[in-house]
Amino acid sequence: MKDAPERLIADNRKAAHDYHFLETFEAGVALVGTEVKAIREGRVNLRDSYCRLEAAEAYLLGAHIGQYSHGGYASHDPTRRRKLLLKREELNKLLGRTTERGLTIVPLRMYFKHGRVKVAIALAKGKNTIDKRETIKRREAERETRAAIKSRRV
């Protein structure tokens, strides 16, 4: 069977600005019915979200999934904590790395894969302000070189 392309739902661009990513993982998300319908409508925000390990399980906290437009009385809490579905080896690896080295786990993007909602999470180390400035300078330099090359072609 051919792999279906991933359909991006939400992206956490702020995470790349604030963290260095060391390792990425793919996790499923335990959702209720109206959450899936709201996700299909694109009502997701991962901007201030993070992951926490509690009792040997991973949870997604701070992710906002808005209310479903045609939802009735059986609606969901937009910012409830959602369980991440990971393999035991991955959970153990994350648990060991976050406790001993002071690393954190951040969600990078949410997407559909084979009709299921997946979250790409990363084991990350926080950037300091000097690193952030260097990233911005590098990005601006790349943008200027692309503009210069484009202007020479014309």
Q: What tokens does 132 get? A: 């952030």
Q: What is the pLDDT of residue 98?
A: 86
Residue 146 in any domain: the answer is no
Q: What is the pLDDT of residue 34?
A: 85
Q: What is the mean pLDDT of residues 117-125?
A: 93
Which pTM value belongs to this model? 0.78
- Work out the pLDDT band at 3, boundaries 50, 70, 90: low
Number of domains present in the structure of the chain? 1
What domain range is 12 assigned to?
7-127
Residue 135 in any domain: the answer is no
Q: What is the pLDDT of residue 154?
A: 66
Residue 30 in any domain: the answer is yes
Contact call for residues 37 and 66 (beta carbons, < 8 A): no
Cα gap 7→142, rounded to integer Å:
28
Residue 137 in any domain: the answer is no
- The domain that contains 69 carries what CATH number? 2.40.280.10
Residue 43 in any domain: the answer is yes
Residue 152 in any domain: the answer is no
Q: What is the pLDDT of residue 103?
A: 87
- Work out the pLDDT band at 1, boundaries 50, 70, 90: very low
Residue 138 in any domain: the answer is no
Query: Regarding beta strands 19-29 and 82-85, do their DSSP bridges make them parallel or antiparallel, or are they unpaired?
Result: antiparallel
DSSP H helices, the chain, are: 13-18, 33-40, 88-101, 129-153
- Other C-beta atoms closer than 10 Å to the C-beta of 95 total 15
Q: What is the pLDDT of residue 150?
A: 86
State pLDDT tens for residues 13-28.
888 888 889 999 999 9
State pLDDT tens for residues 78-116.
888 999 999 999 999 998 888 877 789 999 999 999 989
Per-residue burial over 38-77, b = 16 or more CB atoms within 10 Å of its CB, e = otherwise: bbeeebbbbeebbbebeeeebbbeebebebbeeeeeeebe
Residue 1 in any domain: the answer is no
Cα gap 97→104, rounded to integer Å:
9
